[in-house]
Amino acid sequence: MTERHSETAPASPPPRRRITRQEQEPASGEVTEVTPGVLRMQLPIWMPGLGHVNMYGLVDDRGVALVDPGLPGPRSWSTLKRRLRSAGFEFRHVHTVVVTHSHPDHYGAAGHVVKKTGARLVTHCAFETFAEASPPLGPSEAADAEREAAALAALLGVENDVPPEDFLPSSGAAAGPFSNPTPWGEAQSNRWRMRGVILRAFRRLFIAPRPTHRVRNDDVVTLAGREWRAVYTPGHTPDHLCLFDPDSGALLSGDHVLPTITPHISGMAEGFDTLGAYLATLDHVAKLPDVGVGLPAHGHPFDDVPGRVADITAHHVERMEKLAAAGEALGPATVRSLSRELFPERHWG
Protein backbone atom coordinates (compact mmCIF):
# COMPACT_ATOMS: atom_id res chain seq x y z
CA MET A 1 0.00 0.00 0.00
CA THR A 2 1.23 3.43 -0.81
CA GLU A 3 0.73 6.12 1.71
CA ARG A 4 0.37 9.63 0.50
CA HIS A 5 1.57 12.53 2.56
CA SER A 6 2.47 16.09 1.97
CA GLU A 7 6.13 16.96 1.45
CA THR A 8 6.11 20.03 3.57
CA ALA A 9 4.52 21.29 6.75
CA PRO A 10 1.28 23.23 6.44
CA ALA A 11 1.87 26.89 5.96
CA SER A 12 2.40 28.46 9.34
CA PRO A 13 0.62 31.70 10.14
CA PRO A 14 2.79 34.79 10.54
CA PRO A 15 4.67 34.88 13.84
CA ARG A 16 2.45 36.14 16.58
CA ARG A 17 3.30 37.58 19.91
CA ARG A 18 2.85 34.95 22.56
CA ILE A 19 0.34 35.77 25.21
CA THR A 20 1.07 34.60 28.70
CA ARG A 21 -1.95 32.67 29.80
CA GLN A 22 -2.94 32.61 33.42
CA GLU A 23 -1.84 28.98 33.71
CA GLN A 24 1.66 30.12 32.72
CA GLU A 25 1.99 32.85 35.33
CA PRO A 26 4.76 32.26 37.85
CA ALA A 27 3.72 31.05 41.27
CA SER A 28 2.55 33.86 43.49
CA GLY A 29 3.33 33.82 47.20
CA GLU A 30 -0.15 34.97 48.01
CA VAL A 31 -2.45 32.60 49.90
CA THR A 32 -6.09 33.29 49.09
CA GLU A 33 -9.33 31.84 50.40
CA VAL A 34 -11.12 31.08 47.15
CA THR A 35 -14.29 29.75 48.74
CA PRO A 36 -15.00 29.38 52.44
CA GLY A 37 -12.49 27.00 53.99
CA VAL A 38 -10.55 26.46 50.77
CA LEU A 39 -7.14 28.12 50.36
CA ARG A 40 -5.27 28.51 47.10
CA MET A 41 -1.49 28.19 47.42
CA GLN A 42 0.62 28.33 44.27
CA LEU A 43 3.75 26.21 43.87
CA PRO A 44 6.41 26.72 41.20
CA ILE A 45 6.75 24.17 38.43
CA TRP A 46 9.24 24.06 35.63
CA MET A 47 7.35 21.91 33.17
CA PRO A 48 7.18 23.73 29.84
CA GLY A 49 4.00 25.64 29.16
CA LEU A 50 2.93 25.98 32.78
CA GLY A 51 4.06 28.39 35.48
CA HIS A 52 2.57 27.05 38.67
CA VAL A 53 0.33 24.41 40.14
CA ASN A 54 -2.41 25.26 42.61
CA MET A 55 -2.15 23.39 45.86
CA TYR A 56 -5.49 23.81 47.59
CA GLY A 57 -5.73 23.68 51.35
CA LEU A 58 -9.08 22.42 52.67
CA VAL A 59 -9.32 23.64 56.25
CA ASP A 60 -11.34 22.01 58.99
CA ASP A 61 -11.19 21.62 62.75
CA ARG A 62 -8.76 18.72 62.38
CA GLY A 63 -6.24 20.73 60.39
CA VAL A 64 -5.82 20.88 56.64
CA ALA A 65 -6.03 18.63 53.60
CA LEU A 66 -3.72 19.40 50.67
CA VAL A 67 -4.85 18.86 47.10
CA ASP A 68 -2.06 18.35 44.54
CA PRO A 69 1.09 19.22 46.50
CA GLY A 70 3.22 19.83 43.42
CA LEU A 71 6.46 18.57 41.95
CA PRO A 72 9.12 16.62 43.74
CA GLY A 73 12.42 18.36 44.36
CA PRO A 74 13.97 20.78 46.82
CA ARG A 75 12.65 24.02 45.30
CA SER A 76 9.01 23.02 45.31
CA TRP A 77 9.38 21.45 48.75
CA SER A 78 10.79 24.58 50.35
CA THR A 79 8.04 26.66 48.73
CA LEU A 80 5.39 24.23 49.97
CA LYS A 81 6.68 24.66 53.51
CA ARG A 82 6.59 28.46 53.18
CA ARG A 83 3.06 28.41 51.80
CA LEU A 84 1.87 26.21 54.64
CA ARG A 85 3.40 28.56 57.20
CA SER A 86 1.83 31.58 55.45
CA ALA A 87 -1.52 29.85 55.75
CA GLY A 88 -0.91 29.25 59.46
CA PHE A 89 -0.13 25.55 59.31
CA GLU A 90 2.73 23.18 60.05
CA PHE A 91 3.16 19.69 58.66
CA ARG A 92 1.62 18.25 61.83
CA HIS A 93 -1.68 19.85 60.79
CA VAL A 94 -1.85 18.02 57.47
CA HIS A 95 -4.19 15.06 57.86
CA THR A 96 -5.03 14.31 54.21
CA VAL A 97 -3.43 14.60 50.78
CA VAL A 98 -5.62 14.41 47.69
CA VAL A 99 -4.06 13.81 44.26
CA THR A 100 -6.25 14.55 41.26
CA HIS A 101 -4.23 12.50 38.77
CA SER A 102 -0.96 10.80 37.98
CA HIS A 103 1.05 13.64 36.52
CA PRO A 104 4.18 14.58 38.44
CA ASP A 105 3.28 18.22 38.98
CA HIS A 106 0.28 16.93 40.95
CA TYR A 107 1.49 13.85 42.78
CA GLY A 108 5.25 14.47 42.79
CA ALA A 109 5.51 15.67 46.39
CA ALA A 110 2.61 13.60 47.74
CA GLY A 111 4.84 10.77 48.91
CA HIS A 112 7.08 13.20 50.77
CA VAL A 113 4.12 14.90 52.47
CA VAL A 114 2.63 11.57 53.52
CA LYS A 115 5.98 10.38 54.85
CA LYS A 116 6.45 13.62 56.77
CA THR A 117 2.92 13.84 58.20
CA GLY A 118 1.41 10.37 58.25
CA ALA A 119 -1.53 11.82 56.33
CA ARG A 120 -3.90 9.60 54.43
CA LEU A 121 -3.59 9.77 50.65
CA VAL A 122 -6.78 9.96 48.59
CA THR A 123 -6.79 9.20 44.86
CA HIS A 124 -9.11 7.68 42.33
CA CYS A 125 -9.06 3.89 42.47
CA ALA A 126 -7.32 3.77 39.07
CA PHE A 127 -4.41 5.92 40.27
CA GLU A 128 -1.06 4.57 39.20
CA THR A 129 2.31 6.17 38.79
CA PHE A 130 4.85 5.28 36.20
CA ALA A 131 7.59 4.09 38.49
CA GLU A 132 8.55 2.83 41.85
CA ALA A 133 10.60 4.95 44.18
CA SER A 134 14.30 5.22 43.69
CA PRO A 135 16.77 5.19 46.59
CA PRO A 136 16.62 8.48 48.53
CA LEU A 137 18.87 11.25 47.22
CA GLY A 138 21.02 13.47 49.39
CA PRO A 139 20.28 17.23 49.30
CA SER A 140 23.03 17.93 46.78
CA GLU A 141 22.01 15.04 44.52
CA ALA A 142 18.38 16.12 44.70
CA ALA A 143 19.24 19.68 43.74
CA ASP A 144 21.31 18.40 40.81
CA ALA A 145 18.50 16.10 39.67
CA GLU A 146 16.01 18.95 39.85
CA ARG A 147 18.27 21.25 37.81
CA GLU A 148 18.84 18.52 35.26
CA ALA A 149 15.14 17.88 34.81
CA ALA A 150 14.35 21.59 34.63
CA ALA A 151 17.04 22.13 31.99
CA LEU A 152 15.67 19.31 29.88
CA ALA A 153 12.17 20.66 30.23
CA ALA A 154 13.34 24.09 29.09
CA LEU A 155 14.70 22.56 25.90
CA LEU A 156 11.19 21.57 24.92
CA GLY A 157 9.99 25.14 24.72
CA VAL A 158 6.51 26.41 25.32
CA GLU A 159 3.36 25.29 23.58
CA ASN A 160 0.44 27.54 24.24
CA ASP A 161 -2.43 25.38 23.15
CA VAL A 162 -1.18 21.99 24.21
CA PRO A 163 -0.04 21.72 27.83
CA PRO A 164 3.02 19.54 27.50
CA GLU A 165 2.33 17.16 30.29
CA ASP A 166 3.18 13.55 29.89
CA PHE A 167 0.91 10.60 29.92
CA LEU A 168 2.12 8.03 32.36
CA PRO A 169 1.47 4.48 31.25
CA SER A 170 -0.95 2.46 33.31
CA SER A 171 -1.69 -1.22 33.51
CA GLY A 172 -4.85 -0.58 31.54
CA ALA A 173 -2.82 0.75 28.68
CA ALA A 174 -0.04 -1.72 28.34
CA ALA A 175 1.76 0.13 25.60
CA GLY A 176 1.32 3.80 26.41
CA PRO A 177 2.78 6.68 24.43
CA PHE A 178 6.20 6.32 26.05
CA SER A 179 6.69 2.87 24.68
CA ASN A 180 8.88 2.48 21.67
CA PRO A 181 7.42 2.04 19.20
CA THR A 182 4.40 4.08 20.12
CA PRO A 183 0.95 2.47 20.41
CA TRP A 184 0.34 3.56 16.83
CA GLY A 185 3.41 1.68 15.64
CA GLU A 186 5.73 4.52 14.74
CA ALA A 187 9.07 5.13 16.41
CA GLN A 188 9.16 7.80 19.06
CA SER A 189 10.34 11.17 17.93
CA ASN A 190 13.37 12.73 19.57
CA ARG A 191 11.08 15.23 21.20
CA TRP A 192 8.97 12.49 22.72
CA ARG A 193 12.02 10.58 23.88
CA MET A 194 13.17 13.76 25.63
CA ARG A 195 10.05 13.65 27.74
CA GLY A 196 10.96 10.16 28.83
CA VAL A 197 14.31 11.52 29.96
CA ILE A 198 12.54 14.16 32.03
CA LEU A 199 10.40 11.53 33.65
CA ARG A 200 13.45 9.51 34.54
CA ALA A 201 14.74 12.62 36.32
CA PHE A 202 11.43 12.85 38.19
CA ARG A 203 11.78 9.25 39.22
CA ARG A 204 15.03 10.07 41.02
CA LEU A 205 13.31 12.77 43.04
CA PHE A 206 10.04 11.45 44.28
CA ILE A 207 8.85 9.00 46.88
CA ALA A 208 6.27 6.72 45.32
CA PRO A 209 2.87 7.75 46.63
CA ARG A 210 0.89 4.88 48.15
CA PRO A 211 -2.82 5.75 48.24
CA THR A 212 -4.55 4.81 51.49
CA HIS A 213 -8.02 5.69 50.20
CA ARG A 214 -8.89 4.88 46.61
CA VAL A 215 -12.26 6.38 45.79
CA ARG A 216 -14.77 5.64 43.06
CA ASN A 217 -17.20 7.88 41.27
CA ASP A 218 -19.77 9.40 43.63
CA ASP A 219 -17.97 8.34 46.82
CA VAL A 220 -18.11 10.98 49.55
CA VAL A 221 -14.93 12.55 50.89
CA THR A 222 -15.45 14.80 53.91
CA LEU A 223 -12.96 17.67 53.93
CA ALA A 224 -13.18 21.31 55.05
CA GLY A 225 -16.46 20.48 56.74
CA ARG A 226 -18.03 19.61 53.40
CA GLU A 227 -19.10 16.38 51.81
CA TRP A 228 -17.27 16.36 48.49
CA ARG A 229 -18.46 13.97 45.82
CA ALA A 230 -15.80 12.12 43.86
CA VAL A 231 -16.28 12.67 40.13
CA TYR A 232 -14.32 10.26 37.96
CA THR A 233 -13.10 12.17 34.90
CA PRO A 234 -10.82 10.06 32.69
CA GLY A 235 -9.36 11.64 29.59
CA HIS A 236 -6.42 13.83 30.53
CA THR A 237 -5.22 10.72 32.36
CA PRO A 238 -7.01 7.42 32.95
CA ASP A 239 -7.19 8.11 36.70
CA HIS A 240 -8.32 11.74 36.83
CA LEU A 241 -10.47 12.70 39.79
CA CYS A 242 -12.47 15.87 40.42
CA LEU A 243 -14.18 16.69 43.72
CA PHE A 244 -17.54 18.43 43.77
CA ASP A 245 -19.29 20.05 46.73
CA PRO A 246 -23.03 19.93 45.98
CA ASP A 247 -23.83 22.46 48.69
CA SER A 248 -21.62 25.28 47.46
CA GLY A 249 -21.23 24.15 43.85
CA ALA A 250 -17.43 24.28 44.11
CA LEU A 251 -15.60 21.94 41.74
CA LEU A 252 -11.96 21.00 42.28
CA SER A 253 -11.37 20.43 38.61
CA GLY A 254 -7.71 19.41 38.52
CA ASP A 255 -6.54 19.41 34.89
CA HIS A 256 -9.93 18.24 33.60
CA VAL A 257 -11.16 21.78 33.04
CA LEU A 258 -8.63 24.61 32.92
CA PRO A 259 -9.56 28.28 32.55
CA THR A 260 -7.84 29.09 29.24
CA ILE A 261 -5.68 26.14 28.13
CA THR A 262 -7.16 23.09 26.48
CA PRO A 263 -6.03 20.08 28.53
CA HIS A 264 -3.95 17.61 26.62
CA ILE A 265 -5.61 14.34 25.67
CA SER A 266 -3.27 11.49 24.89
CA GLY A 267 -4.24 8.41 23.02
CA MET A 268 -3.48 5.47 25.26
CA ALA A 269 -3.78 2.26 23.35
CA GLU A 270 -5.46 0.66 20.39
CA GLY A 271 -9.18 0.47 20.86
CA PHE A 272 -9.42 2.84 23.82
CA ASP A 273 -11.50 5.93 23.08
CA THR A 274 -9.71 8.42 25.32
CA LEU A 275 -11.28 11.45 23.69
CA GLY A 276 -14.74 9.91 23.94
CA ALA A 277 -14.21 9.37 27.68
CA TYR A 278 -12.96 12.91 28.06
CA LEU A 279 -15.86 14.50 26.19
CA ALA A 280 -18.40 12.43 28.09
CA THR A 281 -16.97 13.39 31.46
CA LEU A 282 -16.67 17.04 30.41
CA ASP A 283 -20.37 16.93 29.68
CA HIS A 284 -20.92 15.29 33.05
CA VAL A 285 -19.19 18.03 35.06
CA ALA A 286 -20.98 20.75 33.09
CA LYS A 287 -24.28 19.19 34.15
CA LEU A 288 -23.45 18.80 37.83
CA PRO A 289 -26.36 20.37 39.70
CA ASP A 290 -25.70 24.04 40.38
CA VAL A 291 -22.01 23.73 39.59
CA GLY A 292 -20.42 26.98 40.63
CA VAL A 293 -16.82 28.03 40.97
CA GLY A 294 -14.22 25.94 39.18
CA LEU A 295 -11.00 25.48 41.15
CA PRO A 296 -8.44 24.37 38.56
CA ALA A 297 -4.98 22.95 39.14
CA HIS A 298 -3.47 25.72 37.01
CA GLY A 299 -4.74 29.26 36.59
CA HIS A 300 -7.31 31.21 38.54
CA PRO A 301 -10.68 30.11 39.90
CA PHE A 302 -13.38 30.63 37.28
CA ASP A 303 -17.14 30.98 37.48
CA ASP A 304 -18.58 29.52 34.30
CA VAL A 305 -17.72 25.80 34.29
CA PRO A 306 -20.39 24.90 31.69
CA GLY A 307 -19.20 27.73 29.45
CA ARG A 308 -15.59 26.61 29.68
CA VAL A 309 -16.65 23.02 28.97
CA ALA A 310 -18.47 24.24 25.87
CA ASP A 311 -15.31 26.01 24.66
CA ILE A 312 -13.13 22.94 25.17
CA THR A 313 -15.68 20.69 23.49
CA ALA A 314 -15.88 23.06 20.54
CA HIS A 315 -12.10 22.94 20.21
CA HIS A 316 -12.19 19.16 19.90
CA VAL A 317 -15.11 19.20 17.47
CA GLU A 318 -13.18 21.64 15.28
CA ARG A 319 -10.04 19.52 15.52
CA MET A 320 -12.02 16.43 14.52
CA GLU A 321 -13.42 18.21 11.50
CA LYS A 322 -9.95 19.34 10.41
CA LEU A 323 -8.62 15.84 10.94
CA ALA A 324 -11.40 14.28 8.89
CA ALA A 325 -10.78 16.80 6.10
CA ALA A 326 -7.03 16.13 6.18
CA GLY A 327 -7.68 12.40 6.11
CA GLU A 328 -9.95 12.71 3.12
CA ALA A 329 -7.33 14.77 1.29
CA LEU A 330 -4.44 12.42 2.08
CA GLY A 331 -6.16 9.08 1.76
CA PRO A 332 -4.71 6.27 3.88
CA ALA A 333 -2.32 7.90 6.32
CA THR A 334 -0.40 7.31 9.53
CA VAL A 335 -0.75 9.21 12.79
CA ARG A 336 2.46 11.09 12.07
CA SER A 337 1.51 12.21 8.60
CA LEU A 338 -1.95 13.31 9.72
CA SER A 339 -0.54 15.06 12.75
CA ARG A 340 1.77 17.06 10.52
CA GLU A 341 -1.19 18.21 8.48
CA LEU A 342 -2.83 19.64 11.57
CA PHE A 343 0.01 21.01 13.65
CA PRO A 344 2.72 23.51 12.73
CA GLU A 345 6.26 22.17 12.79
CA ARG A 346 7.06 23.51 16.24
CA HIS A 347 4.49 21.06 17.66
CA TRP A 348 5.69 18.01 15.77
CA GLY A 349 6.82 15.05 17.80
Partner 1 sequence: MAESETFAHLEHLVHRGGAFRRTVDGRFVYEMTTDAPGADPGTEAEG
Among 189, 210, 212, 213, indicate the residue that binds partner 1 (CB under 8 A). 189
Amino acid at 34: V
| Cβ distance to partner 1 smaller for residue 22 or 179 | 179
Alpha helices in 183-263 (DSSP H): 190-205
Cβ atoms within 10 Å, residue 321: 10
What is the rounded distance in angstroms from the CA atom of residue 228 to the CA atom of residue 220? 6
Among 186, 208, 300, 311, indicate the residue that binds partner 1 (CB under 8 A). 186
| Cβ distance to partner 1 smaller for residue 148 or 159 | 159
DSSP string, 137-160: PPHHHHHHHHHHHHHHHHHT---S
| Cβ distance to partner 1 smaller for residue 128 or 166 | 166
Q: How many positions of this chain bind partner 1 (CB under 8 A)? A: 62
SS3 category, 24: helix
Residue 222's H or E segment, with its range, is: strand 220-223
Among 57, 108, 183, 299, indicate the residue that binds partner 1 (CB under 8 A). 183
Assess 339 for contact with partner 1 (CB under 8 A): yes
Question: Per CB under 8 A, which region of 80-88, 161-169, 198-206, 247-255 contacts partner 1?
Answer: 161-169
Query: Which residues are within 8 A (CB) of 271 and not within 5 positions of it... i.e. 6 or more apart?
Result: none
Among 39, 67, 282, 305, indicate the residue that binds partner 1 (CB under 8 A). 282
Residue 225 beta carbon to partner 1: minimum distance, rounded to whole angstroms: 25
Backbone phi, psi, residue 225, to 5°: 70, 15
Amino acid at 9: A
Residue 142 beta carbon to partner 1: minimum distance, rounded to whole angstroms: 28
Residue 180 beta carbon to partner 1: minimum distance, rounded to whole angstroms: 12
| Cβ distance to partner 1 smaller for residue 177 or 299 | 177
Hey, which residues between 80 and 139 contact partner 1 (CB under 8 A)? none
Cβ atoms within 10 Å, residue 56: 28
Cβ atoms within 10 Å, residue 276: 11
Query: Which residues are within 8 A (CB) of 4 and not within 5 positions of it... i.e. 6 or more apart?
Result: 330, 331, 332, 333
Hey, which residues between 260 and 279 contact partner 1 (CB under 8 A)? 264-268, 270-276, 279
The residues binding partner 1 (CB under 8 A) are: 1, 3, 159, 162, 164, 167, 177, 181-186, 189, 192, 216-218, 232-233, 264-268, 270-276, 279-284, 313, 316-317, 319-321, 323-324, 327-328, 331-336, 338-340, 342-343, 347-349
